[in-house]
């Protein structure tokens, strides 16, 4: 079967097509709630030219943030907008992916992990500049951008 | 003179029709205004940027579509578009699309299909479709370059046995072996990419006949 290969990090047992279907089922509802269209959190320059070595650190930070901040605080909205099934599919799969990521911590990887951290901080910084609820809604609606980036590492 | 936003009903069903990154905005006229001399004005917006932008060729137009391929050619960006109806001095509110993401939503057109036959086999050569380009002189970009994981679903129909089967291939050449001699086979190919489900556009059905079996011909003599 297919697996994610974020540089040295391998993640099996996740069917990316299911994540796509889950997001697409709620895309219009979720993105229609995002009124701050002048801001994009996952900007092109943040996602461009991520090296293989960097990718494991970067996706680990992103998924950790999505699980601990975005999914955690968006649950009530998911109930309200009746998208709980899609919400759960994505949350559970993100949790599985994150649990299987083992970014290396050796010293020689420090500069690479720092690059990845800088990218993540650009994303997180843009998130923090927005009103809390608006930021949650926007980040949730940008999962198509995140999944598109993840698709490149799925083989 | 700007029109007055009145109770004029908005255009309806505003969507992007996108094939190989040729992105056409289309809509239906407002309901209940049959026969009225309605014109339309279009604007578009790049998600993450600041302003709505005009499309000069789609200002006060009578048709109900507008080609925004050039304006939305960076397929890694996401876009909105909106259109309003104008009748005399009155205009409707804007009707707006959802967020349009060409990379995920464009339909991938069929490949070019070349067939050559033998007694018991058919060779198929596929050429990926090209991305929309503004000028014919521009160099072509293959959709394969944009979607490295582009695949093809090849359907084969044996007109003698009425049997159909299909194969999913990633490379551009395919040999169908162990076929029946002197039999017409029809081939149809669709392009596929992983990701959200998309409408597909199959190729024209092409039919060829395998050659007569030379060995049986010799025996007859």
| Per-residue pLDDT tens digits of chain B, which is 221 residues long | 678 887 899 999 999 999 999 999 999 999 988 888 999 999 999 999 999 999 999 999 999 999 999 999 999 999 999 999 999 889 999 999 999 999 999 999 999 999 999 999 999 999 999 999 999 999 999 999 999 999 999 999 999 999 999 999 998 999 999 999 999 999 999 999 999 999 989 999 999 999 988 776 555 55
Residues of B in contact with A31 (CB under 8 A): 98-99
The 10 Å Cβ neighbour count of residue A76 is: 8
Beta carbons of A67 and A94 less than 8 angstroms apart = yes
Encoded tokens for B55: 């499309």
CA distance A64 to chain B (A): 23
Q: How far apart are alpha carbons B92 and B83 in whole angstroms?
A: 9
The 10 Å Cβ neighbour count of residue B218 is: 8
Among candidates B49, B78, B195 on the partner chain, residue whose Cβ is nearest the Cβ of A20: B195
Question: What chain A residue is nearest to B50 in terms of C-alpha separation?
Answer: A38
Residues of B in contact with A27 (CB under 8 A): 98-99
Q: How far apart are alpha carbons A38 and A40 in whole angstroms?
A: 7
Q: Are strands A9-11 and B112-117 parallel, antiparallel or unpaired?
A: unpaired
Q: CB of A52 within 8 Å of any CB in chain B?
A: no
CA distance B47 to chain A (A): 6
- Do residue B194 and residue A154 have CB atoms under 8 angstroms apart? yes
Encoded tokens for A139: 């980040």
- Do residue A32 and residue B49 have CB atoms under 8 angstroms apart? no
Question: What chain A residue is nearest to B51 in terms of C-alpha separation?
Answer: A38
Q: CB of A49 within 8 Å of any CB in chain B?
A: no
Q: CB of A7 within 8 Å of any CB in chain B?
A: no
- Entry pTM: 0.92
Encoded tokens for B66: 């507008």
Beta carbons of A21 and B196 less than 8 angstroms apart = yes
Supply φ then ψ for residue A63, to 5 degrees.
Answer: -65, -40
Task: Tokens 């996401």: give the residue.
Answer: B78
- Do residue B194 and residue A23 have CB atoms under 8 angstroms apart? no
């Amino acid at each position: 079967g297919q697996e994610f290969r974020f540089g040295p990090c391998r993640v099996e047992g996740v069917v990316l097509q299911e994540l796509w279907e889950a997001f697409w089922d709620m895309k219009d509802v979720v993105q229609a709630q995002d009124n701050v269209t002048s801001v994009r959190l996952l900007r092109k320059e943040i996602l461009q030219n991520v090296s293989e070595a960097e990718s494991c650190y970067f996706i680990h930070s992103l998924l950790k943030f999505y699980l601990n901040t975005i999914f955690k605080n968006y649950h009530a909205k998911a109930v309200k907008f009746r998208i709980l099934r899609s919400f759960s599919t994505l949350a559970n799969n993100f949790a599985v992916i994150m649990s299987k990521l083992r970014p290396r911590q050796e010293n020689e990887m420090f500069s690479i992990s720092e690059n990845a951290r800088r990218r993540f901080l650009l994303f997180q910084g843009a998130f923090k500049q927005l009103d809390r609820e608006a930021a949650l809604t926007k980040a949730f609606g940008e999962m198509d951008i995140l999944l598109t980036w993840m698709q490149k590492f799925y083989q | 003179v700007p029109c007055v936003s009145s109770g004029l009903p908005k255009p309806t069903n505003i969507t992007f029709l996108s094939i190989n990154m040729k992105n056409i905005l289309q809509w239906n006229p407002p309901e209940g205004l049959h026969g009225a001399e309605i014109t339309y004005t279009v604007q578009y917006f790049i998600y993450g940027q600041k302003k709505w932008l005009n499309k000069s060729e789609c200002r006060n137009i009578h048709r109900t579509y507008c080609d925004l391929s050039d304006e939305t050619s960076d397929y890694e960006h996401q876009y909105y578009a909106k259109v309003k109806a104008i009748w005399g001095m009155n205009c409707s509110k804007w009707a707006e699309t959802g967020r349009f993401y060409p990379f995920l939503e464009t339909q991938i057109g069929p490949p070019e299909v070349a067939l050559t036959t033998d007694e018991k086999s058919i060779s198929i050569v596929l050429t990926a479709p090209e991305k929309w380009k503004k000028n014919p002189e521009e160099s072509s970009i293959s959709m394969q370059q944009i979607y490295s994981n582009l695949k093809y679903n090849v359907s084969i129909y044996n007109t003698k046995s009425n049997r159909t089967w299909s194969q999913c291939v990633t490379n551009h050449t395919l040999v169908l072996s162990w076929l029946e001699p002197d039999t017409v086979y029809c081939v149809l190919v669709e392009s596929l990419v992983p990701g959200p489900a998309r409408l597909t556009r199959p190729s024209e059905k092409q039919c060829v006949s395998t050659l007569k079996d030379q060995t049986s011909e010799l025996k007859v003599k």
